[in-house]
Amino acid sequence: MFWLGVTYAFFWLGGLSEAGKTTKDCQWNGTVSALDTNCTNINAPSGLILNGTDDIKVLYKQFAHVTTVTGCIQISGTTYARFDFFARLRTINCSNSSFTVDFMASNNSMLERLGMPMVQISRLGLTFNPKLCITQSEAVRFTNVQRGQSDNITICQGVSGNLKECSSTINSANAGLEDNCEIITENLYVDGVNNANISQKLQYIKEVNGRIYVRATTLTNLTIPMLQKVYGAESSYNTVNDATIYVVGNSNFTTLDVPKVDFMAQNDYSFLTADASYKMDQSLCNRLSPFGSVQSNGTVCVSTGSKIGTTASMALGLLACYFLYH
């Protein structure tokens, strides 16, 4: 017997495509500030070139929903620690012969990780990024890596050898995780009644490439103590734009603690629950509000200490349906 949670999102908007966002084609004319908002596809025939002069917050905002770039990408001379602003990028179509690689990252003195969990790159150029390491899945996802002779690209290390990447499975005991997981390759699913060891399974998780679901559990609280990044990205086409953290159908759930989160890809809702037991706390509200509205029991919380954007309720209704299977 297991639970299958299915969510439906209804929007006023028509023509939904990627993660519930309308497809929007935009032209790149050389500067990110000139880019339209809510772009999903960027056309950049002369290349999308970033040289570090852009405030990364502007990049987070302008590239938040971009899944496709038609054009070659080059990021050089920046101090960005990750290219998280391309969290949702999946496809690069680089056919301009004046570029030798599809994606070039060079001279990025602070670059530690690429931080683009879903993109496929067939020609990746990496030179003079002295702090960069790549994960084992990146080593598979990026083919034809071209690098300078002095560029040793090392595999990222974690709590015990190589940084450990795991997939979580729907409706499984303890999110379907092995021990010592550090990166969740797609969504994290904490589902159902068999979560006796969930704290142990979540203790080292630093990154979730997809979203986080807490559904139909009997847990009273959940802590993901090391979690820093939630990319809210998916590897394939999906018309559902769920909240980045979606808590639904739990009988006794009161508290979520994610004390180290410092990046979530921008979303309409960074956190959403209608569970009657849940008590919104100000620290979670403050931590997650920069990345989207934080809503509990129909109310969007107000962040203190930082300015809150216009969070007036969007034209969104959510219906959660649960089907019990045998």
**Residues contributing to the site for ligand NAG (CB under 6 A):** 29-31, 34, 37-38, 45-47, 51, 53, 70, 76-77, 93, 95-96, 98, 106-107, 128, 150, 152, 173-174, 194, 196-199, 218-219, 221-223, 251-252, 268, 276, 297-298
Distance CA 91, CA 123 (A): 12
Nearer to ligand NAG, 32 or 81 (CB): 32
Nearest distance, CB of residue 48 and ligand NAG, angstroms: 10
Distance CA 65, CA 68 (A): 9
Nearest distance, CB of residue 165 and ligand NAG, angstroms: 21
Nearest distance, CB of residue 115 and ligand NAG, angstroms: 20
Nearer to ligand NAG, 84 or 268 (CB): 268
Nearer to ligand NAG, 107 or 235 (CB): 107
C-alpha 103 chain-centroid distance:
20
CB atoms near residue 312 (< 10 Å): 7
Q: Which SS3 state, helix, strand or coil, does residue 310 take?
A: coil
What is the per-residue DSSP string for 266-279? --SEEEEE--TT--
Nearer to ligand NAG, 34 or 321 (CB): 34
- φ, ψ of residue 230 in degrees (nearest 5): -130, 110
Amino acid at 125: G
The answer to whether 18 touches 40, Cβ cutoff 8 Å, is yes
Nearer to ligand NAG, 137 or 199 (CB): 199
Nearest distance, CB of residue 4 and ligand NAG, angstroms: 19
**Burial class of residue 37 in the structure, from the number of CB atoms within 10 Å of its CB (0-12 exposed, 13-18 middle, 19+ buried):** exposed
Nearest distance, CB of residue 28 and ligand NAG, angstroms: 9
Nearest distance, CB of residue 214 and ligand NAG, angstroms: 10
Nearer to ligand NAG, 26 or 183 (CB): 26
The answer to whether 243 touches 292, Cβ cutoff 8 Å, is yes
